[in-house]
A and B are shown apart, each in its own frame.
Chain A
């Protein structure tokens, strides 16, 4: 009994200070850096100006930002449309088989995404499987140039991120009480209407968290663009990385990172809103 208060106090103080050092301080530093100016000596010259955000909004940088958002948005839509029916099928499969199938989704989920990106190159490069099959079937007579295009980056991102969409959707669909759906049908709703008015709202937290888990990494995963997209930086992630490691323009990189964080904040708010709406309904 004698160390009673001590253990509790030590754990609480430890937890709070760990969170402060590794979660709060780093983000505050990046936030401050985004308002500073560059210096040749310390990377960062403390100060306050909005010039980094202004620079981020000039034509060249803005086009990188917008094209990265567009690319990632496209990836998110493709993943959502592909994963939703798949997750629904999974949620309706019977127990022993369902667990095996789930494990088969979880393995790629945890496999190194760099390894998976690399596996995609063996599929689509000029001497890759896809070209070989198409050539031998006589559909094409010269190999298609699929590598180093925006399409290859989209394919690579969809490939690596699809499991991150499937799992939250599956979790939401599995929890879905099918009686709501039956009630809607009994009351005369068409299957289509029942889907949009009942299933989609009830699985909204899963949809939002899946989109978040695809959209945000889709902006940041610079190595997918490096491996499949070639030298042209297509993602905001490449841009941020270059500002920190090549160009050494930390404040500009910090401003881009803060922008990404704000985006995450907006998506998290959407998530909480959709989850709270459901929680309120059930209570």
Chain B
């Protein structure tokens, strides 16, 4: 029984990792057209870094991800604090909506924002993409931070209030330091969400501002290419590092 369990778990992990591993291995394959192994090369990586359009898209992606993660961390933390500390009309609706937004299929978020931007006649590009990614990430940050806020002793805040701290001081010097690990975890979460997103970007950016996943999308549709393997290998590495770091931050709380 025990052996069977180990075998089953191993098979699932093989299923999850074999395709990724194969892709990483083939990103070092010298052969361009066949899957046969023709020797080790770094040519595809060199080629990748000399592709100006691709590098621009990668930089754009990093920029959007960093900005979206920062904006949604700030906004998400404020929302979480407001929901936890204050009673105001529509509080319950907002709380539920955040949960619904987190569950919403990307395509529903993508087209609803496209319709919004069209209704406001905003040109699709950097700003619309940033707003869309912030919308995507905020619920994840708020729910993470909210969860951490619930774990705190409310007396700490009351003590600060009794000692004369205003709402802003309480936020800046009491709440923020306490939830900071959760905010950082939320930042990394948002960064990964933003950099991984295909569907929402597809609807909310224009030709003036291209991001990496969309670039990969157009390359992938044309079939297998070793450069794409190399690019995907780099993306896997970045994700693995981001996940590792954000797990570290979340672990600090326990």
Q: Bound state CA distance, A128 and B229, in angstroms?
A: 14
Interface flag for A37 (CB, 8 Å): no
A244/B114 in contact, CB under 8 A: yes
* A136 CA to B235 CA, complexed, in Å: 32
A105 contacts B by Cβ under 8 Å: yes
B154 smallest CB distance to A (angstroms): 16
The reply to whether B9 and A86 contact each other, CB–CB distance below 8 Å, is yes
Which one of A11-19, A52-60, A193-201 is at the B interface?
A11-19
Point out the residue from B16, B35, B81, B243 that lies within 8 Å of A103, measured CB to CB. Answer: B243
Q: Which residues of A contact B112 (CB under 8 A)?
A: 26-27, 29-30, 257
Residue B150 is within 8 A (CB to CB) of chain A in the complex: no
Chain A facing B: main interface SS: helix
Q: Are A123's CB and B22's CB within 8 A?
A: yes
Cα-based distance from A250 to B111 in the complex (angstroms): 10
Taking a contact as CB atoms under 8 Å apart, the answer to whether B221 and A226 are in contact is yes
Closest to B24 in A: A119
Instruction: Contacts A12-B88, A101-B9 known; list 13 others, CB within 8 Å.
Output: A1-B164, A3-B167, A22-B131, A25-B116, A33-B115, A89-B9, A101-B13, A111-B236, A118-B220, A120-B19, A223-B198, A250-B115, A261-B104
Q: Does A49 contact B (CB under 8 A)?
A: no
Please encode chain B, from 124 to 164, with 1 for each CB lying within 8 Å of some chain A CB and 0 for all others.
00000001001100100000000000000000000000001
Docked-complex contact A257 and B107, CB < 8 angstroms: yes
Q: What 1/0 mask marks residues of chain B from 79 to 101 whose CB sits below 8 Å from any chain A CB?
A: 10110001010100010010111
Taken together as a complex, chains A and B put the C-alpha atoms of A255 and B165 apart, in Å, by 51
Cα A162 to Cα B104 in complex, Å, equals 18
Query: What A residues does B107 contact at CB under 8 A?
Result: 220-222, 237, 240-241, 257, 260
Give the complex CA separation of A261 and B224 in angstroms: 35
Please give me the residue from chain A that is nearest to B101 by CB atom: A23
Chain A residues contacting B9 (CB-CB under 8 Å) are 86, 89-90, 101
- Asked if A216 lies at the interface with its beta carbon under 8 angstroms from chain B, I say yes
- Smallest distance from the beta carbon of B174 to chain A beta carbons, Å? 13
- Closest residue of A by beta carbon distance from B233: A115
A71 within 8 A of B: no
Q: Identify the B interface with A (CB < 8 A).
A: 5, 8-9, 12-13, 15-20, 22-23, 26, 34-35, 75, 78-79, 81-82, 86, 88, 90, 94, 97, 99-101, 103-108, 111-116, 118-119, 131, 134-135, 138, 164, 166-168, 171, 192, 195-196, 198-199, 202-203, 213, 216-217, 220-221, 224, 228-229, 232, 235-236, 239-240, 242-244, 247
A-B contact pairs, 14 of them (CB 8 A): A7-B168, A22-B116, A86-B9, A112-B196, A112-B239, A118-B220, A119-B22, A127-B34, A240-B111, A254-B111, A254-B115, A257-B112, A264-B100, A268-B99
B198 lies within 8 A of A113 (CB): yes
- Chain B proximity of A168: nearest CB distance (Å): 11
Binding site secondary structure of chain B: helix
Specify the chain B residue showing the minimal Cβ separation from A158: B15
Residues of A within 8 A of B (CB): 1-5, 7-8, 11-12, 14-16, 18-19, 21-27, 29-30, 33, 43, 82, 85-86, 89-90, 101, 103-108, 110-123, 125, 127-129, 132, 159, 162-163, 212-213, 216-217, 219-223, 226-227, 237, 240-241, 244-245, 250, 253-254, 257, 260-261, 264, 268
- How far, in angstroms, from A235 to B224 measured CA to CA in the complex? 23
Residues of B within 8 A of A115 (CB): 23, 216, 232, 235-236
Contact indicator A113/B196 (Cβ below 8 Å): yes
How far is it, in angstroms, between the C-alpha of A19 and the C-alpha of B95 when the chains are bound? 10
Report the 9 A-B pairs with minimum CB-CB distance, sorted nearest first: A26-B112, A220-B107, A119-B19, A220-B105, A7-B168, A26-B116, A4-B166, A112-B196, A115-B232
Q: Is the CB of A123 within 8 A of B18?
A: yes
Give A15 to B244 CA distance when docked, in angstroms: 31
Contact B108 A105, beta carbon cutoff 8 Å: no
Complex CA distance for A221 and B202, rounded to whole angstroms: 12
